[in-house]
Structure 1
Amino acid sequence: MYHSDPQMLLLLYFVLPVWLIAGFADWLCHRATDIETTTGLKETYIHILMFLEMGLPLLAALFLDVNSLVIAFMIVLFFCHEATALWDVSYAVTARRVSPIEQHIHSFLEMVPLMALLLVISRHWPQFLALFGFGDEPARFELKQRDDPLPAGYITAVLSGIFFLEVLPYLEEYWRGKKASKGGSRRG
């Protein structure tokens, strides 16, 4: 079904895996700098916010018909994520070393969502144009399931990847921060 669609192939088998790997690599950087005793839970809460800002549009793309509403949602949360990422780094550098490697990983974590957004928009160009009152079709603002669901095996693999590469590591970061804050060894 999607094997002849280069945009979908790029989204499903390049952009999303790179994004998940970059998120895991960022967690490794946080762990290496003892985030729990430097910036503490405040930075972890910022990370959780960024996870939600990108996770919700990702889930929308996986399960919903991509129309003007979903595209607008993705665009708004992309810009929210960018603002939160700036806040994150601005705060992190006040109390811990953000290495060149971590900075490079952050580049991926900012640009890969933009690549994903642009690929989604290009696949649904008429609804993107309609969002701004252009094009030949009316903007659709309903929430409905995809007419062309992604294969169950792919969804299972993606959700497993999210769970093992993002949710568990960042929960572990939270638990380390919580433990350190009870011991009084965190900054803020």
Structure 2
Amino acid sequence: MADQTLGPDASRPAKRVADSRTIVTRNVTESDMNGQGRLFGGRLMEWIDEAAGIAARRHCGGNVTTAAVDQLVFHRPAFRNDVVVIVASVTHVGRTSVEVRVDSYVEDIATSRRELLNRAYLTEVYVGEAGRPTPVPFSLTFSNDAEQDEWRAAEQRRRRRAQDRDEA
């Protein structure tokens, strides 16, 4: 598939998904543990938020703030001395926000094999100097069908979030 740009304003300059992809690697230490001897979920959520923020800042070219976290699903635990790899990628660009998918893995350092630990989607709002939502200057372009499929799934998540807000 050739590069393709989607979004509410295809006239904006575009960045590729790969341009803002962020990979963070952490070693689980004693201070990261909960009372059951596993990685504290709140610590992982902190790492996820940081990685998403970096990916969003790279895409927007400025500061962002986390507006929402949804579909935060834990698949397995992590333990002391585990290596956790966090991969964040922009999946959707709106007018003033971007959605970032963050996949977290436990990596076997001997084989480099990764097992999914967690998947989350975060909405990051691009903010100007006054701290107010600001139009995102870049649209998003895709290099493969999987990236385009993520965009379409993000559109569905956006509609669902809007419906949830209306019902609340």
Q: TM-score, normalised by structure 1?
A: 0.26
The structure with the largest alpha-carbon Rg is 1
Q: TM-score, normalised by structure 2?
A: 0.28
